[in-house]
Amino acid sequence: MAKARKSAANGNGKTPAKKAGGKPVIYVLNGPNLNMLGLRQPEIYGRATLADVEKLCQKAGDRLGLSIDFRQSNLEGELVTWIQQARTKAAGIVLNAGAYTHTSVALLDALNAAEKPCVEVHLSNIHRRENFRHHSYISLAAVGMIAGFGPKGYVLALEALADIV
């Protein structure tokens, strides 16, 4: 059953992108200010650094049979380019778009064009924060959202994608 679900859930009829080792490639993309994790508002985002999150993702990827391509940019255009690259180079995307979540139609359009399953991740529970953070453009293209579980949210997103790709 898992195999049939994986092919059907890919949704685009394309073979998932794989590395030489045969593992599906998952892009884990991080938006603005996430390079400041551990320093910026630790009472909201925690004390883990982005390097800590990357290690957690690599470990989860190994366990799940996924190849993790982990990236961060403060530039919206660079994130758009990476999402476009995912169309041919990745089987799925984990995206923490940071503040671009609430503002970026460009990221939404790129996700729709990429035609890859995307799981949206937020370290904090965006629905317990300011009203402007309650709206997500990313959710319109994502298969699901995980919010409020800190760095473990990335692992949960990878587990969800492992069932899909």
The pLDDT of residue 138? 97
Q: Is 102 labeled as catalytic in the residue annotation?
A: no
The pLDDT of residue 15? 45
- Compute CA distances 95 → 20, 111, 144, 153, whole Å: 24, 10, 11, 11
- Compute CA distances 1 → 4, 20, 77, 113, 165, whole Å: 5, 26, 39, 28, 13
Q: Say which residues have a Cβ less than 8 Å from residue 153's Cβ, sequence separation at least 6.
A: 121, 122, 123, 146, 147
The pLDDT of residue 133? 62
- In order, the DSSP letters of 52-104 are HHHHHHHHHHHHHT-EEEEEE-S-HHHHHHHHHHHHHH-SEEEEE-GGGGGT-
Q: Is 122 labeled as catalytic in the residue annotation?
A: yes
Catalytic residue among 27, 45, 137, 154: 45
The whole-number mean pLDDT for each consecutive block of 10 residues of the chain, a chain of 165 residues, reads: 34 58 95 93 86 98 98 98 98 96 96 98 80 81 96 98 97
The pLDDT of residue 42? 80
The pLDDT of residue 41? 80
Angle at the Cα of 159 from the Cα atoms of 11 and 99, rounded to 5 degrees? 80
The pLDDT of residue 131? 75
The pLDDT of residue 19? 74
Catalytic residue among 27, 100, 122, 137: 122
